[in-house]
Structures are given as C-alpha cells and as structure tokens.
Amino acid sequence: MSLRSSKTSFTIACVLAASPGLAAAPNLPSTPAVAAPAPVTALREIGHVRAQTRFCQAVYDHAGLSTNTALINDSTISKTADDLTHADLDDNLMAKPRTIVDMQRSYEALMSRTRDAIDETKTLRKLADDAPTPEQKAALVAYADALGGALHRQQIAARDYREFGVYLEAHDPVAWQEHDREMMAANATQPVEFDPHDYVTPYLADLAKAEAVHLNDLHETVLDDEVRAGSSVDAAFGPCATATPDQKEDSPANAGEPSH
C-alpha cells in the first residue's frame, strides 16, 4: 500500500506541546544516573478536511506523509529508550542478542522511511511557492523547515542507538561475581579518595540505562523542532480547510486548469 494516499480526505497531526522535562534521578553508587524515558509528544489532529484545490491536495499529500513519519519515529525512539532502560543484559542470556537485533531493525526501518519523509518536506517547501498568499507561503516553508529538522535529528538518534548496538555486540555481559572481584581489587589497591566504580568493568545493563538517558536528551531536541512546526500549522493549513472549488482558478498551482 502506498504511503501517500490518493484520497481527498486527510488528517494532519502536529505537535501540541513538548513533553515535560526529564526529572533527574539520584546518583547511585553502582549505576549512572538514569531518567525515565520521555513520553511521546502530546499530539492533536488538525481536522478532517476535503481538498478542494489541486494545491491543497498536494499540500496534504506531502505534509501528511512527512508528519506521520515523524510521529512514528517519535514512538520508535521512545520505545527504544524504554527497552534499554529495562533490558537485563547481564543476567539474561537472550536479552543481549534480542536487543541488538531489535535496535538494528528499528534503525534500518527508521532511516528508510525518514529519507523519504525528508524528500517530502523538500517538495513541500517548493510547493509553497504556489501558495495563494504570502502568509501561507511563509507558514508552509516554516513548517517544512522545522519538520525537516526534526526528521534529521531523529536520524541522529537512530545512528546513536545503532552504534550502541555495535558496542554491545563487541562486549560480553558482566557477571556479578566478576564485578565484585574487580571492586574488591580496586578497593585494596587504590587510594581512599577514589571512586572504585571508575576501575571496574561496568555492567552492560548500566551502560544501556545511560544510553537511554542520552537518547531521551536527543529526543527532546526533536520535540523542540516539532513544537516549532506546530506553531505554523494554522497559517499553513488553515486556508486549505476553508478553500472552495472557486479558488481553483485563483491558485498559481492550478493556473491553466479548465473551469467546470
């Protein structure tokens, strides 16, 4: 099934508000500070509208695909961070290979659909030249720019967790017995003022929690871009919601279209 619908009724979802900031977790002696995964940005629907002009139809086509991709990516990044937070990578023999495979598949799917979505934002930016008013043109460009930035940052986040998957693949789980032996050796050989955790091999699960925190930080920058896109929605798409068939001839995108 094609991602771009040919129907005349569309739903455009956009950002309503960013997720609240992450609360800092207390520092524990055995693990890095871990924050809860960021929830997916609150969203609202910007109406079900019937495209009455070719220009508006094209706007809905290109904006709809890129917007929906960004929303899917938000869910993917949040789920990946949540999975890393709860992965038992040291004690469960199946957890590590399963986590690596899941992250690789997630990365490949996200990168593939996001490349197409970025192309859609570029098309939307060019399409803005055909907007009937300067205000709508400026809003469409602002929406495309902000959404394109969000999609680019989502790719950065995906590359980041893929690199962590490569690290996991190259390192063995750490048994608690080995960890305790290293801790005792560090306590016996290092000065009193040192932190013994700096001298022992970290648990993979602790590294995964730290990666989840980092991933959530990256995701916050994505949500900032999506909020900026959301601020342009009314001016960018509102005129199409009220367009009438008579406006077909008024839009530069429809110049030369025969009257009916």
Residue 240 confidence (pLDDT): 87
Label residue 97 exposed, middle or buried (CB < 10 Å: 0-12, 13-18, 19+).
exposed
Residue 181 confidence (pLDDT): 61
Residue 248 confidence (pLDDT): 45
Q: Which of 49, 74, 77 is nearest to 63 (CA)?
A: 49
Question: Which amino acid is located at 235 in the chain?
Answer: A
Q: Which of 23, 22, 21, 19 is nearest to 39 (CA)?
A: 19
25-51 burial, b for 16+ CB within 10 Å, e for fewer? eeeeeebeebbebbebbebeebeebeb
For the chain, the first-to-last Cα distance in angstroms comes to 32
Q: Which of 84, 76, 106, 91 is nearest to 35 (CA)?
A: 84
The whole-model pTM stands at: 0.73
Residue 184 confidence (pLDDT): 54
pLDDT along the chain (260 residues), means of 10: 38 42 33 43 46 88 91 95 93 91 95 96 96 96 96 96 93 66 57 57 88 96 94 91 54 43
Dist. CA 22–CA 36, nearest whole Å: 7
154, 77 contact by CB (below 8 A):
yes
246, 50 contact by CB (below 8 A):
no
Which domains can be identified in the chain, with CATH numbers? 51-253 (1.20.58)
Residue 38 confidence (pLDDT): 43
Q: To the nearest whole number, what is the mean pLDDT of the chain? A: 76
Residue 40 confidence (pLDDT): 40
